[in-house]
Amino acid sequence: MTLLEIVVQDPAGVETAARAGVDRIELCSALAVGGLTPSSAMPR
């Protein structure tokens, strides 16, 4: 079985990915530099 994981950079991306039915979502910041763990100050 193949799972689909998508990386997003903001809460709106999480919502979009969830509605699209992806299996796993990774929330990151600074995708241009490979992705970093987002700050706890990221808006929800």
Q: Note whether residue 40 is domain-resident.
A: no
Q: Note whether residue 9 is domain-resident.
A: yes
Q: Note whether residue 4 is domain-resident.
A: yes
User: For residue 11, what are the domain limits?
Assistant: 1-25
pLDDT at 40: 83
The pTM assigned to this predicted structure is: 0.75
Q: Note whether residue 19 is domain-resident.
A: yes
pLDDT digits 0-9 by tens, 1-44 = 899 999 999 989 999 999 999 999 999 988 899 888 888 887 77
Three-state SS for the chain is: CCCCEEEECCHHHHHHHHHHCCCEEEECECHHHCCECCCCCCCC
